[in-house]
Structure 1
Amino acid sequence: MKNFTFNINENSYGVKIVSHEDNVIELEVNGTVYSVKMKETVKTVKTPTLVRKPASSTIEPIKINPAASKTKIVAPIPGVVLSINVKVGDTIKVGDELLVLEAMKMENSITSEKSGLVTAINVNVGQQVLQSEVMIELE
């Protein structure tokens, strides 16, 4: 089955496992066969099976409070700003693309969920943003 070499007190021992049944193992040490009885049954090692739990909740899009006078557009995920499609002073309506954010090698269009006037742009093209970082402010 398996061969091992042990060095004990500068003596070399060649050990071969001949058979293994329950808690009895037959060994051959330097040509001499020994039967060894273990105190406990040797457990066979099983390969673990990885099981993923289903996602507990789905990711909800960021909802904007329609009653608020100022609206902050925040980054939904960390990424890099690829393009900004509005400028300060622009009037936008619901569904207009504000900017494109690259995250995990995918381009994500950030659109407006509220009509309004762009009052501030807090990011630049090529800038890295963290999740929940304010990118654009609307009024």
Structure 2
Amino acid sequence: MKEYRYKINGNLYKVAVGDVEENHVRVEVNGTAYVVELEKKKSPRIKPVLRTASTSPAAPPPAISRPAPIGGKSGVKSPLPGVILEIKVKEGDVVKRGQTLVVLEAMKMENDIKADRDGKVTAVKVSKGESILEGTDLVIIE
């Protein structure tokens, strides 16, 4: 497995790239595993393109599949990428719907991530100062 460190918009990401099987690659970003689907290569077609300073080719983002929830438990996911500023709960805490679980800094703003249901916290999947991606499990509630 090859490991890389990327700094994107001031956030550090630790990326480990694993095995490639056909057009799927196993990737781990800050400890969260993903399967990335690579774009299939098409037969090349040569077509002249007149480029100006304002036009540049845009690469399509890779398709990412996230791990499925565990059993009857499900995670409260991050709605956007950012940095964890504060964790307001711990394992074993009983939470109510609407209670703030985590404070996430995204786009220079603090965002309260709240519980979507009543339940008991069975796992806290992030740590303070960690850079996370959209869709990352933050807290597991049973």
- CA deviation after TM superposition for structure 1 residue 71, in Å: 2.0
Give the Cα separation in 2 of the matches to 1:69 and 1:102.
29
CA-based RMSD: 1.1
Residue deviations 1:3-24 (CA, integer Å, cap 9, x gap): xxxxxxxxxxxxxxxxxxxxxx
Contact 2:76/2:116, CA 8 A, preserved across alignment: no
Residue 58 of structure 1: aligned partner:
none
Matched, 1:118 2:121: yes
Give the Cα separation in 1 of the matches to 2:81 and 2:105.
9
Give the Cα separation in 1 of the matches to 2:131 and 2:81.
7
Residue 99 of structure 1: aligned partner:
102
Give the Cα separation in 2 of the matches to 1:122 and 1:87.
10
Residue 82 of structure 2: aligned partner:
79
Which has more radius of gyration? 1
Gaps of at least 5 residues in structure 2 are 1-70
User: Post-superposition, which runs of at least 4 consecutive aligned residues in structure 1 deviate over 6 A?
Assistant: none
- CA deviation after TM superposition for structure 1 residue 135, in Å: 1.1
In the TM superposition, what are the counterparts of 1:1-139 in structure 2 within 5 Å? 69-139=72-142
Give the Cα separation in 2 of the matches to 1:135 and 1:123.
6
Residue deviations 1:19-60 (CA, integer Å, cap 9, x gap): xxxxxxxxxxxxxxxxxxxxxxxxxxxxxxxxxxxxxxxxxx
Q: How many residues align?
A: 72
Give the Cα separation in 2 of the matches to 1:69 and 1:97.
22
Question: 2:79 is paired with a residue of what secondary structure?
Answer: coil
Gaps of at least 5 residues in structure 1 are 1-67
- State the TM-score, normalized to the length of structure 1: 0.50
Contact 2:76/2:139, CA 8 A, preserved across alignment: yes
Residue deviations 1:73-120 (CA, integer Å, cap 9, x gap): 111000000000000000001111001000010000001110000000
- What code does the residue aligned with 1:108 have? N
- What code does the residue aligned with 2:99 have? D
